[in-house]
Structure 1
Amino acid sequence: GEGLDFYDVGTARGAGGLGIWRDNKLWTSRNWAAWKLIQNGPDVASFSVDYAPWPVDVDRKVWETRVFSLPMGTNFTRMVSTISSDKPGPLVVGIGISKRKRASGAGLFRKDLVPGRVTFWEPADPDKGAMAIALMVDPKSVVEVRQDFDNYLVLVRVEPGKPFVYYMGAAWDKGLDFHNAADWDAYVAAQKPDFDPSH
């Protein structure tokens, strides 16, 4: 009873996937192109992933390197993303959480942009239970929260070539830790994220 893989993503952003937000549309990469193991325990697992260039509308290309760090003892993964571009100027990045609808409803989405946090308690599947997702971003970078057809999106402003940090967290209501939205939200609110990309 400690794990179950029923988190279908499809073309949505899943839990913490990102894209470039432009003209009310999310422009996304394809699957990763290369990866590298950085650390394999004992206290943290860390790896990097490169995404090949992808178009943003017809006049710009971007590409990304992202480092994932999964420390023991937390439900959060720390991401350090560097998005480069063939043109200068800031970008707005949309970091997403897939929407879910089931017979039990549409779930519970909450945002608190002062500390840069959003949470989503998914509607329950009658057999498999519910997933909880959270994103934490640097509140100084937040533009707003938007939605597209598939996702809730936290929009943040970034500079090409400059790394930025965000966190993705998840839990399962049939797992060992969080069994309702209130407990999950309280856990997320108590976090002290480090948004310094040099750490």
Structure 2
Amino acid sequence: MKKLFLLVATVLFCFACTNTKDVVTVTVSNPLAMERPNEIVEVAMDDIANQLKLADTAQIVVLNADGQQVPYQITYDEKVIFPASVAANGTATYTIQAGTPEAFAVKTCGRYYPERVDDVAWENDLVAFRTYGPALQKTGERAFGYDVWTKYNTTEPVVEARYAGELNPETKAKIAELKKTDPKAAQELYKSVSYHVDHGNGLDCYKVGPTLGGGTAALMPDGEIVYPYCYATQDILDNGPLRFTVKLVYNPLNIKGDSTVIETRVITLDAGSHLNKTVVAYDNLKETTPVAAGIVLHEPDGAVVADAANGYITYVDPTDNVNNNNGKIFVGAAFPATVKEAKSLLFPEKEKNELRGGADGHVLAISDYEPGAEYVYYWGAAWDKADIKTPEAWNEYMANYAQKVRNPLTVTVK
């Protein structure tokens, strides 16, 4: 009887070990001969819920091959995202099952700032960005492009604190008072709170002006850039801990006399990446039209790479105050689809001085946009005081990034 009991227990144990109904196995494969550490992958939540037969209130955990929990996020479009590390030409296996997740550090987040003329600003563990809103447009300031904020010495969020210091009403009132009696003290107080000064974790030292800034896309009918002004509406769809997503809709553009063309952008920033994924669509566009992603040039002969064949552009920006020891900002864009042409295009002298705030031109990657399609590209930046130190390292990062978006990790669920 004792032997029979042991036999039954062994069979039940073995059955439990092979019963995979309560575990989803995710295999991530890398088609490239380069290591891909901590790259965000996606799995449809419906696939997981159906296979695990999860109740509506059930929680899940994502485990690596060692059984350790991996941070994850469920996105607005019902995907489970998590960082996967895969060897060159290799595979990595993760499992998803019901369970209680650990607390994960927030790596990526952002906010709409009505108190700062409708900015939308966001960041991850490496870098921060912002785009401008309707309140800024109403002031008459001409700012069409993305802004870059540098970040170092921390992987924690910094943007909220920077705005709080810059916009504190009591401090602003004190500065205004001091300007009347002690301008030097007023300037010192301003420097102590301004996000244009490095207080140990980076600053805003990138100049956008009336240009495409750090990677904005724009239609180019007849070879002329139609600059999109500030967004009309914003909707933050994801807000961490691993992904920030915002949907921006713009006022109608005038394209060849048609003033009904409306641009929509969905911008996504993931933890661990220097680049934002951006999906652009133009409603009511009547014909195939060139579209360009552009990076402003602040030197007529600056360090530019425009590589259409390999799908990326880069520029080494001198920052807005070259005498203030702000280093260099590396800016770039990468393209999963074929780029028709990549080049630097300098402004005529009159346009440079009268319309573009003294900027010298753009480096552009130009493609054709088909009506009803989506234009997908990646744009972003790094800083030579942070993790990427040299133009050569940035160009290598961008070349590799372009290869990755053209050869994405493949995800198999069973």
TM-score relative to the length of structure 1: 0.87
Corresponding residue for residue 122 of structure 1: 317
Corresponding residue for residue 294 of structure 2: 96
Output the aligned Cα RMSD: 2.0
SS at match of 1:26: coil
Which 5+ residue runs of structure 2 have no aligned equivalent? 1-199, 348-360, 409-414
Quote how far apart the aligned CAs of 1:169 are.
Answer: 1.9
- The correspondence of residues 51-90 of structure 1 with structure 2, limited to 5 A, is 51-59=250-258, 61-87=260-286, 89-90=287-288
Quote how far apart the aligned CAs of 1:5 are.
Answer: 0.3
The 3 A distance-change label for structure 1 pair 186 and 86 is closer
Corresponding residue for residue 395 of structure 2: 185
1 or 2 for the larger relative contact order (CA 8 Å, sep ≥6)?
A: 1
Q: Percent identity?
A: 29
Number of residue equivalences? 190
Corresponding residue for residue 302 of structure 2: 107
Rounded Cα–Cα distance in structure 1 between residues aligned with 2:261 and 2:336: 22
Post-superposition Cα deviations, 1:142-179, rounded to whole Å, max 9, x if no partner, equal 221241423121111111221121000201112x2112
Quote how far apart the aligned CAs of 1:195 are.
Answer: 8.9
Which 5+ residue runs of structure 1 have no aligned equivalent? none
Flag the structure with larger Rg.
2
The 3 A distance-change label for structure 1 pair 86 and 80 is closer
Quote how far apart the aligned CAs of 1:57 are.
Answer: 3.2
Rounded Cα–Cα distance in structure 2 between residues aligned with 1:66 and 1:6: 25
2:246 pairs with 1:47:
yes
Quote how far apart the aligned CAs of 1:129 are.
Answer: 1.5
| Range with bigger deviation, 123-132 or 7-16 | 123-132
Post-superposition Cα deviations, 1:25-61, rounded to whole Å, max 9, x if no partner, equal 1012221000101111111111110011110232464
Rounded Cα–Cα distance in structure 2 between residues aligned with 1:107 and 1:24: 23
Q: Which has the higher helix share?
A: 2
Of 331, 342, 350, the match for 1:145: 342
Corresponding residue for residue 3 of structure 1: 202
Rounded Cα–Cα distance in structure 2 between residues aligned with 1:111 and 1:28: 21
Q: Which has the higher strand share?
A: 1
8 Å CA contact 1:77, 1:168 repeated in 2: yes
The 3 A distance-change label for structure 1 pair 59 and 195 is farther
Corresponding residue for residue 133 of structure 1: 331
SS at match of 2:209: coil
